[in-house]
Amino acid sequence: MFASCVDIGGTFTDLVVYCAGRGIEIFKSPTTPGEFEVGFMNALRLAAAHYDMGLPEFLARNDLIVHGTTVSTNALVEGKAAPVGLICNAGHPDVLTIREAPRKRAFTVHIDYPPPYVPRNRTYEVRGRIEALGREIEPLVEQDVMDAIAYFKRCDVKAIAVSLLWSIVNPAHELRVREIFAAEWPEIPVTLGHEINPIPREYRRTISAAINASLYPVVASYTTRLADALKSAGYARDLLIANCVGGMMPPDEIVRRPIYSVMSGPTLAPIAGLHLTDAADVIIVDMGGTTFDVSAIRGRQIVVTPESTFGMEMLGIPKIDVRSVGAGGGSIASVDPGGLLKVGPRSASAYPGPACYGRGGALPTVTDANLVLGIIDPDYFLGGRMKLDKAKAEAVVGSIAAELRLSLLDAAWAIYTTINHSMIGALEDVTINEGIDPRESFMVSGGGATACHIGDMARIVGIRRFMVPKLAAGLSAYGGLLSDLRWEETATLHTTSRNFDAPGVEALLAKLILRGDAFLDRAGVASEARSFSFAFQGRYLYQSWDIEVTFERGAKGLRAGDLERLAGAFHTQHERIYTIKDLGEVVEFTTWKVRAIGDTGGRGRRGRVLAEQSEPPTPGRHRSVYLGKSGALLPVFDGSALGSGARIVGPAIVEETTTTFLLLEGQTATTDLYGNYLVDVVN
């Protein structure tokens, strides 16, 4: 039987397949923008052919298919989300305009004030008020809701967001608004702020509701098309969709809360990184065709941020902290009016792609530069399934060389080193800018293009140990095979370390556990495969920003005696993030979370154990590679022929079917039991 995960990137759609007894295989198919489901099915057809099956038989033998989608992310970035109507309290129409002051970089002194996510002409005020203790001080004026429905019909909105003050304490008014819409306009989807993001902060609750509503038509349409395509091809089970908190969900759950699908693909890479190494502190980098993504693990915990943003907007919900820059194999190189080389963020994407793909691309990209330098073999791209046109790569890189008055090879090297420094900037963003020395971390390299660049990046940053996994080109998709079903329930209960309300917190956690159990029931998870984890958001008294802290809930529930442990965990986390702690200060606990987890058996899905390499590996050939000063004839090793314990001393090239690994001087790679390359750097 099989388990599969499909991750759609900007250039290629990655499919990683686990087969019991045969290990894991990776397949790549060009992404099909506008019809992502086509590339999705094409990747499955490649796998079916590899296993000598028709697509219906292959799908029927899959116990699990997981999907990391970029549809919602693309809709936000490209401004193609559905138009939303926002209902708010009378007198409070500007929550999205005034927003919440962002924590800016020290030297970011000029920020254009962005327009609100939902414009004022699609914002409707209704009378009625709930106060902070949950008492109704003004009844909901239902005629205002009826008037809003008539107005929004004229505005041609596709979804409704409702965010009323203090709905997290008493949601009666929000619930009644939805009831009126269900009676008068049943076909319009309605998102309630207290359901999607039950936290006290008005802006975050409102922006979450607005974004969720705007993504509903987009994600529902895509998920339906994809599910129909799978069903018609012979897949009888539910497709599972990755979410941004490190797990996966059934399609009806992700359609109901599509905001949780934003950046779901990149959040799978740290899941894979967590399973590939037992190092405490890990940096995970993933360079695809369009972007370079960086995430981190600290103390064996994946870093989650409540401050996730796109552009100048917050998502309002926590997600795995992944930072992205426009740096990929398809990033376009150009010379600006000042005569300086610029690489990215503009990308050649899947179509037409880099010039060397021969699909009409006429602009120089990073992949073209790597081909000119000799790092990539034009006859062995994707294991030889795709031939690259070196002459076209030389022609477009030659245009850069002419503008910069450099030789062809020096121009290609300039593109190579420029993109490396762009990626190093993103790496420093999650390490140095967060008070972490990257030299003290282990690094895991993912993405089809990263292995060409990882050696130089490690050299510049000073990282001494890193890994290029056997499945580097499909690291995110591999993370999908390992991840669990996961959902979180959140509620607000404000208490402090001065007068900690342990019975109230325990009663709230019990309610959230019941909701999590209901999710696992809907997902069909057996009782023995269920578990729960717990977290709270807290701050020092009078602080503006909350931080998230995980904690253990004892077998007998949370007790007053647990306060010291909770406060201690907060102090430790605060010191990790901000480098300071104040043991004598009062801790405010604001929000409580329960994460429901359903084990899908992912931890057992490992690659095939390789036989031990008894003899030193022998290169199959040598290739001339330009590394900035002069050409060097480097040995080229066939990765598929290596066993465990193989030791390769750089400079050298290792070719896998889906990636090319450039090992530099002073770097030595040793394969582990599964063929992953563990690299030690000698400075």
Q: Which residues of 110-149 are buried (b: 16+ CB within 10 A; e: fewer)?
A: eeeeeebbbeeebbbebebbbeeeeeeeeebeeebbeebb
For tokens 């095979």, what's the residue? 481
pLDDT higher than threshold 80 for residue 326: yes
What Cα–Cα distance (Å) separates residue 93 from each residue in 90, 171, 192? Answer: 7, 19, 16
The total of other beta-carbon atoms located within 10 Å of residue 171's CB is: 20
The per-residue pLDDT for 108 is 61
**Mean pLDDT, range 76-93, rounded to an integer:** 90
**Mean pLDDT, range 359-370, rounded to an integer:** 93
Phi, psi at residue 421, to the nearest 5°? -70, -30
Judge whether 58 and 233 are in contact, CB under 8 Å. Answer: no
Tell me: the pLDDT tens digits for 636-669? 999 999 999 999 998 999 999 889 999 999 999 9
Judge whether 655 and 662 are in contact, CB under 8 Å. Answer: no
Judge whether 89 and 165 are in contact, CB under 8 Å. Answer: yes
| Structure tokens given for 321 | 């902290």
Residue of 304, 366, 310, 376 whose CA lies nearest to 341: 366
One DSSP character per residue, 163-217 reads: --TTTTT--HHHHHHHHHHHHH-TTS-EEEHHHH---S-HHHHHHHHHHHHHHHH
Q: How far apart are CA 371 and CA 376, in angstroms?
A: 5
The per-residue pLDDT for 683 is 65
| Structure tokens given for 622 | 């040598």
Peptide bond connecting 250 to the previous residue in cis, omega within 30 degrees of 0: no
Judge whether 314 and 307 are in contact, CB under 8 Å. Answer: yes
pLDDT band at 87 (very low <50, low <70, confident <90, very high): very high
Residue of 615, 650, 661, 619 whose CA lies nearest to 636: 619
The per-residue pLDDT for 267 is 87
pLDDT band at 59 (very low <50, low <70, confident <90, very high): very high
Tell me: the pLDDT tens digits for 133-151? 999 999 999 999 999 999 9
Peptide bond connecting 345 to the previous residue in cis, omega within 30 degrees of 0: yes
The domain locations on the chain are 2-75+220-278, 79-216, 485-599
**Mean pLDDT, range 74-94, rounded to an integer:** 89
The total of other beta-carbon atoms located within 10 Å of residue 399's CB is: 16
pLDDT higher than threshold 90 for residue 215: yes
Give the bridge partners for 14, in sequence order.
7, 28
Q: How far apart are CA 324 and CA 346, in angstroms?
A: 13
pLDDT band at 112 (very low <50, low <70, confident <90, very high): confident
Residue of 312, 224, 219 whose CA lies nearest to 260: 219
The per-residue pLDDT for 335 is 94
Q: Of residues 150 and 489, which shows the higher confidence score?
A: 150
Residue 300's identity, in one-letter code, is R
DSSP state of 495: E
Judge whether 451 and 664 are in contact, CB under 8 Å. Answer: no
**Mean pLDDT, range 579-607, rounded to an integer:** 89
485-599 classified as CATH 3.30.1490: yes
Q: Name which of 94-108, 260-274, 503-517 the model is least confident about.
A: 94-108
pLDDT higher than threshold 90 for residue 388: yes
Give the bridge partners for 652, in sequence order.
663
The per-residue pLDDT for 104 is 54
State pTM to two decimals: 0.86
Could you tell me the fold of the domain covering 2-75+220-278? Nucleotidyltransferase; domain 5 (3.30.420)
Tell me: the pLDDT tens digits for 166-189? 999 999 999 999 999 999 999 999
Residue of 380, 346, 381 whose CA lies nearest to 363: 346
Strands (E), 222-369: 240-242, 248-249, 282-287, 292-298, 301-302, 304-305, 309-310, 313-314, 319-320, 323-325, 331-335, 341-347
In 3-state terms, the chain is what percent helix, strand and coil (to 5)?
35, 25, 35
| Structure tokens given for 455 | 């050696």
What Cα–Cα distance (Å) separates residue 175 from each residue in 151, 162, 171, 256? Answer: 20, 9, 6, 16
pLDDT higher than threshold 80 for residue 131: yes
The total of other beta-carbon atoms located within 10 Å of residue 462's CB is: 12
pLDDT higher than threshold 70 for residue 109: no
Identify the burial level of 23 via C-beta atoms within 10 angstroms of its C-beta, where 0-12 means exposed, 13-18 middle and 19 or more buried.
middle
Residues 6+ apart with CB under 8 A from 340: none
**Mean pLDDT, range 35-58, rounded to an integer:** 91
| Structure tokens given for 416 | 């190579």
The per-residue pLDDT for 303 is 84
| Structure tokens given for 475 | 């690291």
For tokens 């990149």, what's the residue? 266
User: Between the CA atoms of 493, 497, 502 and 508, what dihedral angle is there, to the nearest 10 degrees?
Assistant: 20
Rounded (10°) angle between helices 36-50 and 202-233: 50
For tokens 């009676």, what's the residue? 183
383-389, long-range: CB < 8 A, 24+ apart: 383/656, 383/657, 383/658, 386/357, 388/356, 388/357, 388/358, 389/355, 389/356, 389/357, 389/358
Residue of 340, 330, 336 whose CA lies nearest to 364: 330
